[in-house]
Amino acid sequence: MNIYSGTSQTKTLWERPVAGPELTANRSQDDIDQWWSLIDRTIEVANGNGWTKAEVARRCGMADGTFSQWVSGKYNGRLDKQNQTVRQWLDDVEDQAAFAAKVPQSPTFLKTRTANEVLETLNWAQVTSDFVIVTLAAGMGKTMACRHYCATRPHAYLATVSPHTKNVHAMLIELAAELNVQEHNPAKLTRAIGKKLERIGGGTLLIIDEAQNLVDDAINQLRHFVDIYGCGVALVGNDEVYGRFASKSEGRSYAQLRRRIGKRLNRRQPLRQDLEAFIDAWGVTDPVAVKTLIGMGLKGGALGQIDKTLKLAAMLAMANDEPINARHVETAWKNRDVEDIA
């Protein structure tokens, strides 16, 4: 059973104490024996996850000072109570890991037709230092495609904005964090970010996900990065992003922005072939189940709807030692309580 969360390892691994707690009036030999067992379990989990002693203390709900004494074998209080606290935490960690191991994993990134179109648009922006817009309906995989692009291309950066980071200054703070730009003077922040993005080699690309949240001035600031520092910028989001430039004609700023858009990708409905490829990656072969899933994907939510439904359907199928069929899919959909299938 894998009880590790995949976090990075700390530089210094935990070591087993040389000596354990002393046998005193407020503890038994059994308490001390259990302490040794718990210490070994704690060290294994902590080293596997790269957790510090302070992090483990926080996770098990014990004060730092108390945990430090307990883990070193120097705790003078009632050992059985602290043992119980650590034991309950370790049991929870193992239970959660066991459950997580049973949850079916979604397919890795698939180069569907739509995904390829997204990647090509992002590549265009980076190579030509252009301003592009990518708008896809919810659940069509735009964020996953952007992450894949950044993971496989140098000098490509992804920042996600929200309603809380929609204005110029908040967006710049978010960009600085993603770009690892250290600049505490607000007056110099724009320039510091720009120098980080300045065109080098094959070009740089800044991808802004959930771009529909940005106010107009923030989008205009991104245009500034393209004009002054020669980097590519991609606005990625829902149809609202596309609509703002397609429908608004007033104002010089919109004219400047529209003039600089080098390429647009706008898809409001998922492609059937994308849905079929995703369902096939899940290993579903039952024709009725496939037809039902395609119908779900066309309702709205696309690949996301299918993915969430199939995770639950796969759990139901495994419980009965069966391949996923239409009954599992329909039951999973009903359990999600989204809407009627028909």
Per the domain annotation, does 4 fall within a domain?
no
Q: Is residue 220 located within the same domain as residue 82?
A: no
Q: Is residue 143 located within the same domain as residue 60?
A: no
Per the domain annotation, does 87 fall within a domain?
yes
Per the domain annotation, does 173 fall within a domain?
yes
What is the pTM for the complete model shown? 0.75
Residue 127: alpha-carbon gap to chain centroid:
27
Domain boundary at 251, 267, 283, which? 267
Q: Is residue 190 located within the same domain as residue 93?
A: no
Q: Is residue 161 located within the same domain as residue 68?
A: no
Domain boundary at 77, 102, 127, which? 102
Per the domain annotation, does 342 fall within a domain?
no
Per the domain annotation, does 321 fall within a domain?
yes
Per the domain annotation, does 148 fall within a domain?
yes
Q: What is the pLDDT of residues 312-333, one digit of tens each?
A: 999 999 888 899 999 999 999 9
What's the structural domain count of the chain? 3
Strand-by-strand arrangement of the 131-136 sheet: 156-160, 205-209, 232-237, 131-136, 261-267
| DSSP E strand stretches across the chain | 131-136, 156-160, 205-209, 232-237, 261-267
Q: Is residue 70 located within the same domain as residue 134?
A: no
Q: Is residue 34 located within the same domain as residue 140?
A: no
With tokens 């059994």, the residue in question is 30
Q: Is residue 256 located within the same domain as residue 125?
A: yes
Task: Using 50 as the pLDDT threshold, list the residues of the chain that sit under it.
Answer: 1-2, 4-11
Instruction: Report the CATH number that the domain containing residue 71 is assigned in CATH.
Output: 1.10.260.40
Domain boundary at 267, 296, 319, which? 267
φ, ψ dihedrals at 291, nearest 5°: -60, -40
Q: What is the pLDDT of residues 270-310, one digit of tens each?
A: 999 999 999 999 999 999 999 999 999 998 788 999 999 99
pLDDT reported for residue 299: 84
What is the dihedral sign for C-alpha 49, 51, 57, 61?
negative
42: containing domain = 29-102
Per the domain annotation, does 329 fall within a domain?
yes
pLDDT reported for residue 37: 96
Per the domain annotation, does 125 fall within a domain?
yes
With tokens 């520092």, the residue in question is 229
Q: What is the pLDDT of residues 65-79, one digit of tens each?
A: 999 999 999 999 999
Q: Is residue 280 located within the same domain as residue 257?
A: no
